[in-house]
Amino acid sequence: MKTSKRILYIKEKIYKENLDNIDFIIENIKKYSSKNFIESIDLSIILNIDLNIKQNILNKTVLPNGTGKEIKVGILALEKDNKYIINNADYIGMDDLIDNFLNKKIKLDVFLYTSDSFKILNEKINLLNKKKLVPNYKLETITNNSISESIKNIKYNTIFYKIDKNGIINTSIGKLNFSSNMIKENLIKLLKDIKNIKLKKTKSNYFKKIVISSTMGIGIEIPNEFTKIY
């Protein structure tokens, strides 16, 4: 695919500069972004792991400065309790909620389960497996405690990501209208969480390559020295 004149111009400008400084990199990602809409800040992370071992691990990170977008959350609960509405759940239900979602009558990004609903909805929950929306204690999508905090984190602050068969994680850590420091703090939190995943046969340099970009912008590789600090 032919590279656009805009991208060629940005590359020429940026790569004349010193790209060893993460603050400079983030500032330039912001500087040369599209003016037509607020782009996401995207990451492509290649891990230095043994690809002969299957490690399709699903994980989450609660970003300190949020994601910059709101996702739709459905609560699977035995009673349509007002406390869930008060705490900003978008939908509440049981079998009916799952049916409406599977029949595309409503759009949801995440299901939160109470422990009671999880036990009752076993068969229905299996239908959600292909949608990657099955309950998971590790991801804290099964909860009875602090439902308000769970909904808030999942709606505004949490990113879910997986390590694919090539050892790559693709995710977003915010929006271009975030300050540079907010983007940097989100990046650091994500890298720390990924390092805490117990992967098999990880090589000494955990991160092989990390590229940061805006949705419509060019990718800039983050220097290894930065990743070793955290």
- Give domain limits for the chain: 17-57+163-229, 73-156
Convert the pLDDT of each residue in 146-193 to its tens digit.
666 777 778 888 898 888 888 899 999 999 999 999 999 999 999 999
Name which of 85, 77, 208 is nearest 144 in CA terms.
Answer: 77
pLDDT in tens, the chain (230 residues): 555 665 665 666 665 565 678 888 898 888 877 667 889 999 999 998 888 877 767 788 999 999 998 888 888 777 665 555 556 778 888 888 888 888 888 888 887 777 677 666 666 666 666 555 655 656 666 665 566 677 777 888 889 888 888 889 999 999 999 999 999 999 999 999 998 887 766 666 788 899 999 988 888 888 888 877 66
Q: Please write down the long-range contacts of 18-23, taking CB distance under 8 Å and 24 or more positions apart.
A: 19/220, 19/221, 19/223, 20/223, 20/225, 22/184, 22/187, 22/222, 22/223, 22/226, 23/180, 23/184
pTM: 0.80
Superfamily of domain 17-57+163-229: Ribosomal protein L1/L10, rRNA-binding domain (3.30.190.20)
Within 13 Å of residue 60, how many CA atoms lie on the same side as its CB?
A: 19
Classify domain 73-156 at the CATH superfamily level.
Ribosomal protein L1/L10, domain II (3.40.50.790)
pLDDT value at position 162?
86
State the Cα torsion 219-186-162-229 to the nearest 10°: 80
